[in-house]
Amino acid sequence: MQDANIAETTLLVVGADKISAALVSRIERWPGLVVATDDSMSLRRVWRILRSGALLWSDLARMSWCELRRQRVKAAPADSSIRSNEDLLQLITRERVKHVVLFRAGLIVNKKVLALPVSILNVHCAAIATHGGLASIRRALQDGTLEQAATLHRVTERIDQGEMLAEEPFRLDSTRSYCWNENVAYEAGTRLALRVLRTPDALKQLNV
């Protein structure tokens, strides 16, 4: 897949869900953009997250219901899939990747991958300064922080705490359903991802 004329390759890693498929369907694929699906999530891992308290059972029920109701969008198949950091490492090496952009990816990037001379970025669909981590939309609605922004930030060993590079503002509405608000947040995240992936030079403009 690597074109010898392409100096830098960007790898987009997306989740295996309808929101991610909708993003991929809207991307104008250019040479040097590789798309991979993150298939690392498992029932065992979901159980560990629930036991840790990072996600409530009610959060999981809300998110699952919204995903079930969401319309499935047909998208071109991904170029590859990953299940582990080792898979990610091999893909980065094979495709000579310069930038990695994560969107709805559940894989926790480890130190070995973070040590690579590659910029690893994440699109989080809420303000990382106040609502990083899981269940960010529910927490923002709960505490009344309705003015929000999807954020592009550097990935570090601490989840959603790296340097913020770009944002896409949006506003939640406490009078609307959780699913409505979740869709607003993910649409903002999608717009941000499309903006930074629109051309090979878009990420360079952010000095990454």
Q: What percent of the chain has pLDDT over 70?
A: 97
Q: What was the pLDDT predicted at 33? A: 95
pLDDT digit string (tens) for 65-91? 999 999 999 888 899 999 999 999 999
d(CA 130, CA 74): 34
Instruction: Please indicate whether residue 159 or residue 68 has the higher confidence score (pLDDT).
Output: 68
* Residue spans of alpha helices (H) in the chain: 18-26, 43-52, 57-69, 85-94, 111-114, 128-131, 136-143, 178-196
Closest CA to 24 of 73, 71, 75: 75
Instruction: Please indicate whether residue 75 or residue 175 has the higher confidence score (pLDDT).
Output: 175
Buried-state track 64-97, b at ≥16 Cβ within 10 A, e below 16: eebeeebeeeebeebbbbbeebebbbebbeebeb
Q: Residue 7 — very low, low, confident or very high, per pLDDT cuts 50/70/90? A: low
Q: What percent of the chain has pLDDT over 90?
A: 76
CA atoms within 13 A on the CB side of 128: 22
Q: At what angle do helices 57-69 and 178-196 cross, to 10 degrees?
A: 70
Q: What was the pLDDT predicted at 199? A: 86
* Sheet of strand 147-154: strand arrangement: 80-82, 33-38, 9-15, 97-103, 119-124, 147-154, 164-171
Instruction: Please indicate whether residue 204 or residue 168 has the higher confidence score (pLDDT).
Output: 168
160 has a pLDDT exceeding 80: no
